[in-house]
Chains A and B, each alone.
Chain A
Amino acid sequence: MESYFSALLVLCTSVGLYLAGRRWLRLSFRGLRSAAGLVLAWLGIAALLFAGNVLVGMAVAILVRSLTPLFLSPYLANDIVLLVLSALQALLLLLWWTTRPDSSAA
């Protein structure tokens, strides 16, 4: 039960949000579907950017270590902040892409 507490909590508040959105904000189910699609796309881009950032970070650490007397740990790329920054990077990219002026023509 403890393991599922947060998931159940978010599920309950999401049902509440859905009902509130439908009733008071007059939001459509179709809009929710396309929003969920955008969230999935954001997650996908974030995962890809995170993997890329980790790889580049490790390569830089190894390069600095082999070319200079400095020691840079590859574990620096194992920082939770990198995940948050990659998620922001992905959000920015997704918004840039979906709000471009010619997006409807593509």
Chain B
Amino acid sequence: MSRSRWMRMWQWLGGLVLVAVAATTFTPLPNLLANWLRTPSRLERAEAIVVLGAGVRPDGTLGDSSIRRALLGILLFKNGLAPSLVLLGPPSLDGGPSEAEVRLELARGLGVPAEAVLAESRAWTTREEAVRTKALLAPRQVRRILLVTDYQHMRRAQALFERAGFEVLPATTEEQSSVARGPEGRMQLMRVVLGEVVARLYYRLAGYL
């Protein structure tokens, strides 16, 4: 192919990128896509509340998403929606405490009785969380769970936990508000949406969903 044809091809691609960036930053496209990913919460009584991991910082503090999920789980427990609370979260890569351990401390500090909480810190991915949770709750014969995660992550997580044999009641938190306004907020929202779309695609290709 000649240089000018290559150049034209790159220019067309560049033009498409410009259109995509403009549509993302100056139109409600990311908000529409985020709403398409949304799973509404169904807050009913269950046998356990399962809070999915979202990451712990190297200094041992919880990330924004992690703390939002943990607090919703604790709130649901305090409202009497289930007798036990399962806190998930992998170990810190820097040798610090695991996310599950930090959340456990938070739950205890907020008055959740120690005997009502289970912490599991060996799962790295959503799929592993479903498998580990099943192993953890099987002896208690728990089937109906309230699953706590971000709204854009819920559909994938719900499918995995249902595949593991649970009846799932979604309890969603907002990570990136789908009502994000302004170019930067919409860009961040689009990044989250695309990340989840890629993750779903990967899970489908790998046969997990």
Chains A and B form a bound pair: yes
Q: Which A residues have a C-beta under 8 Å from some C-beta of B?
A: 2-4, 6-7, 37, 39-48, 58, 71, 73-75, 78, 97, 103, 106
Q: Which B residues have a C-beta under 8 Å from some C-beta of A?
A: 2-3, 7, 9-18, 25-26, 90, 93, 124, 181-183, 191, 195, 198-199, 202
CA distance A74 to B90 in the complex (A): 15
Contact B14 A39 (CB under 8 A): yes
CB-CB under 8 A from B26, the residues of chain A are 3-4, 7
Pick from B2, B183, B199, B202: contact of A6, CB under 8 Å: B183
CA distance A88 to B59 in the complex (A): 32
Contact A106 B11 (CB under 8 A): no
CA distance A6 to B22 in the complex (A): 12
CB-CB under 8 A from B202, the residues of chain A are 58, 74
Pick from B7, B14, B90, B195: contact of A47, CB under 8 Å: B14
Contact A45 B182 (CB under 8 A): no
A37-B183 in contact given A7-B26, A43-B18 (Cβ < 8 Å): no
10 shortest A-B CB distances, which residue pairs?
Answer: A44-B13, A43-B14, A40-B14, A44-B14, A44-B10, A41-B10, A106-B3, A40-B11, A47-B17, A43-B17
Contact A106 B195 (CB under 8 A): no
Main SS class of interface, B: helix
A37-B181 in contact given A58-B202, A75-B195, A78-B191 (Cβ < 8 Å): no
Known: A40-B18, A48-B13, A74-B202. 17 other contacts (CB 8 A): A2-B181, A3-B25, A3-B181, A3-B183, A37-B7, A44-B13, A44-B15, A44-B16, A44-B17, A45-B13, A46-B17, A47-B17, A58-B202, A71-B93, A71-B124, A78-B195, A103-B3
Q: Closest chain B residue to A102 by CB distance?
A: B3
CB-CB under 8 A from A2, the residues of chain B are 181-182
CB-CB under 8 A from B195, the residues of chain A are 75, 78
Contact B11 A44 (CB under 8 A): yes
Q: Closest chain A residue to B21 by CB distance?
A: A43
For residue B57, give the distance in angstroms from its CB to the closest CB of chain A. Answer: 14
Contact A44 B191 (CB under 8 A): no
CA distance A4 to B198 in the complex (A): 29
Contact A3 B18 (CB under 8 A): no
